[in-house]
Amino acid sequence: AQKITQTQPGMFVQEKEAVTLDCTYDTSDPSYGLFWYKQPSSGEMIFLIYQGSYDQQNATEGRYSLNFQKARKSANLVISASQLGDSAMYFCAMREGTQGAQKLVFGQGTRLTINP
Amino acid sequence: NAGVTQTPKFRVLKTGQSMTLLCAQDMNHEYMYWYRQDPGMGLRLIHYSVGEGTTAKGEVPDGYNVSRLKKQNFLLGLESAAPSQTSVYFCASSYGYGRDTEAFFGQGTRLTVV
């Protein structure tokens, strides 16, 4: 079963608009972590934001925020005031598992294109 | 500060050849991971390690072997390469259980099997 689901293969957004990238996850562990990474065309993986399963507040990092809805098992990334440089692949990831057996798994990604 | 270093960056193999990819990290991380990324796809976990001397299978382990003899190194081996193993391989590392910080990635190894 897919642990991380990103249902939007591609998104097209006008510059300066806000954009939400969807991510749903599946786990039975009470303790887990959720991550978003950006992969520009150059190929490197850039960490954006993290949300722990016990965190009471939604994570924010500059223009990035994570809309964490635990009951729905969703962890959507919100990018405010999008910029041309935001065009990239975006991956949602989850770390789950017990001590000594944790692994980090990724979704299939969303390709975001920012139009001028 | 080196972070996570993968060797080599590019490689072309003939079907049936073997090779080893090296991942080295200098952050004293407990966890290390090997992923493959096919064109237009996400990262799929091949094998991972939660500490020196340990390894575990991920989502797509067949055709690969790994070893973690030293904490800072995680080796990925292909015993008999197949064209289906043409991919970009990423190594990553992170702190262990109880320190839920992000994973740091290497720059990737582009492997072509002909």
Tens digit of pLDDT at every position of chain A (116 positions): 669 999 999 999 999 999 999 999 999 988 899 999 999 999 999 999 999 999 999 999 999 999 999 999 999 999 999 999 999 999 999 998 777 778 899 999 999 999 99
pLDDT at residue B39, rounded to an integer: 85
Nearest CA of chain B to the CA of A89: how many Å?
9
Pair A114, A87: CB distance under 8 Å = yes
Distance CA B44, CA A14 (A): 31
Q: Give the residue from chain B lying closest to A4, CA to CA.
A: B42
pLDDT at residue B101, rounded to an integer: 79
Pair A79, A22: CB distance under 8 Å = no
Chain B residues with beta carbon closer than 8 angstroms to that of A106 = 35, 42-45
Nearest CA of chain A to the CA of B19: how many Å?
23
Distance CA B7, CA B5 (A): 7
Nearest CA of chain A to the CA of B105: how many Å?
6
Cis check: omega of the bond before B8, within 30 degrees of 0: yes
Q: What is the pLDDT of residues B74-92, one digit of tens each?
A: 999 999 999 999 999 999 9
User: How many interchain CB pairs under 8 A, A with B?
Assistant: 63
